[in-house]
Structure 1
Amino acid sequence: MTSLASLHPQLPSPLYEVEDERFGRRGLRLVLKRDDLIHPELLGNKWRKLAPNLRAAAGRTVVTFGGAYSNHLRATAAAGRLLGIPTVGVVRGEELADRPLNPSLARCAGDGMRLHFVARSVYRRKTDPETLAAILRAADAEDAYVVPEGGSNSLAVRGCQELGEELRGHADVIALPCGTGGTLAGLAAGLAPGRRALGVPVLRGGFLADDIRALQQRAFGGPRGDWSLDGRFHFGGYARATPELDAFAEDFEQRHGLPVERLYVAKVLYALTALTGENAFPRGTTVAAVITGAPFAG
């Protein structure tokens, strides 16, 4: 097994200020925390969440979970190839097994991940011990190390605490897109007193706050840091976008020369811009956006 250190992650990740008149005229500074530059294949929060779990796996097969377009599955598959670790991806949707693989799952398979498709009704119960045991038996992976959907467990949350620590002294409000909530749970714990984290959920449902509190309870024994969620900017839910969001992302790319990933990053940048227009931040505030990933190249 190749060591994680040999992959040469760029940590701490770079922090860049961008000149954007929509923020400047309100007396705000906008900085981008470029977690997408940590590693070319284990982008952003995926490195922070996966690295501690891969150390714990100690070379065993890693089993994890995701949908057909899961960034987490792709990152886990890439990690398996780079480190020489077998990986199994449990994919939501048994019907997908009879279809050609989409580009995301094809990349996973190309990186050596063995894909195991399960019915959506089974997938919803994947955290139930009996259901999980049955999935592992069916996938011929009973002795594997299991990483939850999105990579969010106590190890991942503590790994993301370093993100908050890296931002100390650099920003007053730190915004990031949220899927399973693990990155926000850790980031908030690492921030300095008086600083706050703002999560922008990319899924509909309004359930994420309870999940984040539960993750912090398991990782730290109780709540940590000042954080909140704004659920207005999911644009229809996970893997959804709209012409309005696409137009915003294209404009941001032209203004700043930064390729904007649509499913997560565009939503947090849009949210910060909209909140700035609502005068949500006092003059003199430095706001940071965590760039958690880059557009998928196919």
Structure 2
Amino acid sequence: MNVSRLRPRLPSPLVPVEDERFGRHGVRLLLKRDDLIHPDLPGNKWRKLALNLEAAAGRPVLTFGGAYSHHLSATAAAGRLLGFPTIGVVRGDELAGRPLNPSLARCAADGMRLVFVDRATYRAKDEPEVLARLLREAPPEAYVVPEGGSNALAVRGCVELGRELMGAADVVAVACGTGGTLAGLAAGLGPGQRALGVPVLKGGFLGAAVTALQAAALGGRAGDWSLDERFHGGGYARVSPALDAFAQDFEERHGLAVERLYVAKMLHGLLTLTEEGAFPPGTRLAAVITGSGDGSNVRTVTAEGDRRGARSGGQSAASSR
């Protein structure tokens, strides 16, 4: 399958922005606008899916995600655009009897068949017997893409992101869900550059995941990378009023729609680190904008822990990128 006929915008633009909150610490902020690669497969979705779709060669694709998964949306869109069937295994069988939220409705409109499974089954989806059972929901020749799209092919696809930034920044930051983008980014950067991952899930598992992905894709650890686990905001899909306010302020300052579940957390983390003096004066700091801020998956979580839709109704998010 020739995915290049979708005409991705590559390399994606690298845009300097004037922000006095960074500038007064001598840090130059640049935005790597991967959200502009393709309107339906933005950011790391394109980079992680492209080689996987070529390997699928037009066969049906079965993949996994939660109720607001960017990955499911991108896979469904790719199926519509390139003409192959898609099956999405969705975490949470309680969702099956409810109206589809905007994200899942978009998947269904793009032709994805949604299969809702209970949370215990979803957690065990990588076990051979469980995966075999799930594959009964798909044609026998189906190609399996893991949750978040992160596998060896995805890592190799994301290496190009690092190569596009070679020599253009000292530190490159990216929000992390399953770790595939960071694994490839770090491997593609040049000497003297380092990659910083900002996990949006809590649990402390991501370092081992990135290491394993690099081993599978590249034969071992590659590049200079690290994680800062402090900015998940309580876990995936949790967006506090303070974080939402930060994102709105960033939007007003720079005219950029800020995706809340990943990009906002990463940008807030970078500002905090800058104010802590983590980056020496003169640092060129590139932030990878991995998704568009369309508002369809924004959730606000109050300090007391209740959830309300910040910009749209529907169920709370439940999976990683």
Question: Does the TM-score normalized on the shorter chain lie above 0.5?
Answer: yes
Residue number among 184, 187, 190 corresponding to 1:189 in the alignment = 187
**Partner of residue 271, structure 1:** 269
TM (norm. structure 2) is 0.91
Please give the alpha-carbon distance, in whole angstroms, between the structure 2 residues aligned to 1:244 and 1:95: 30
- 1:67 aligned to 2:70? no
1:240 positional shift? 1.1
- 1:156 aligned to 2:154? yes
**Partner of residue 176, structure 1:** 174
Please give the alpha-carbon distance, in whole angstroms, between the structure 2 residues aligned to 1:262 and 1:254: 15
List gaps (5 residues or longer) in structure 1: none
RMSD: 0.9
| Corresponding letter in the other structure for 1:33 | K
**Partner of residue 20, structure 2:** 21
1:23 positional shift? 1.0
| Residue deviations 1:38-97 (CA, integer Å, cap 9, x gap) | 001100000000000000000000000000100000000000000001000000111111
Task: Give 1:94-109 correspondences, 5 Å limit.
Answer: 94-109=93-108
Please give the alpha-carbon distance, in whole angstroms, between the structure 2 residues aligned to 1:38 and 1:140: 30
Please give the alpha-carbon distance, in whole angstroms, between the structure 2 residues aligned to 1:132 and 1:238: 24
1:297 positional shift? 5.2
For 2:231, what is the secondary structure of its paired residue? coil
| Residue deviations 1:14-51 (CA, integer Å, cap 9, x gap) | 00000000111111110000000000110000000000
| Residue deviations 1:68-127 (CA, integer Å, cap 9, x gap) | 100000000000000001000000111111111111000000000000111111111111
For 1:16, what is the secondary structure of its paired residue? strand
For 1:72, what is the secondary structure of its paired residue? helix
| Corresponding letter in the other structure for 1:166 | E
| Residue deviations 1:128-185 (CA, integer Å, cap 9, x gap) | 1111001111x13332000000000000000000000000111000001000000000
Please give the alpha-carbon distance, in whole angstroms, between the structure 2 residues aligned to 1:282 and 1:206: 27
Contact 2:31 2:288 in 1 (8 A): yes
TM (norm. structure 1) is 0.98
| Residue deviations 1:198-254 (CA, integer Å, cap 9, x gap) | 000000100110000000000011000010100110111111100110110011111
Task: Give 1:7-156 correspondences, 5 Å limit.
Answer: 7-137=6-136, 139-156=137-154
For 1:184, what is the secondary structure of its paired residue? helix
**Partner of residue 3, structure 2:** 4
For 1:69, what is the secondary structure of its paired residue? coil
Please give the alpha-carbon distance, in whole angstroms, between the structure 1 residues aligned to 2:202 and 2:140: 33
Contact 1:63 1:141 in 2 (8 A): no
Please give the alpha-carbon distance, in whole angstroms, between the structure 2 residues aligned to 1:257 and 1:36: 14
**Partner of residue 293, structure 1:** 291
Contact 1:172 1:286 in 2 (8 A): yes
| Corresponding letter in the other structure for 1:174 | V
Please give the alpha-carbon distance, in whole angstroms, between the structure 2 residues aligned to 1:84 and 1:171: 38
Contact 2:257 2:294 in 1 (8 A): no
Residue number among 201, 204, 207 corresponding to 1:203 in the alignment = 201
Please give the alpha-carbon distance, in whole angstroms, between the structure 1 residues aligned to 2:268 and 2:292: 16
Residue number among 244, 256, 259 corresponding to 2:257 in the alignment = 259
| Corresponding letter in the other structure for 1:97 | A
- 1:245 aligned to 2:243? yes
List gaps (5 residues or longer) in structure 2: 297-321
Shift >6 Å, 4+ stretches: none
1:193 positional shift? 1.1
Identical aligned residues as a percent: 72
Contact 1:133 1:142 in 2 (8 A): no
For 1:169, what is the secondary structure of its paired residue? coil
Please give the alpha-carbon distance, in whole angstroms, between the structure 2 residues aligned to 1:156 and 1:296: 24
For 2:132, what is the secondary structure of its paired residue? helix
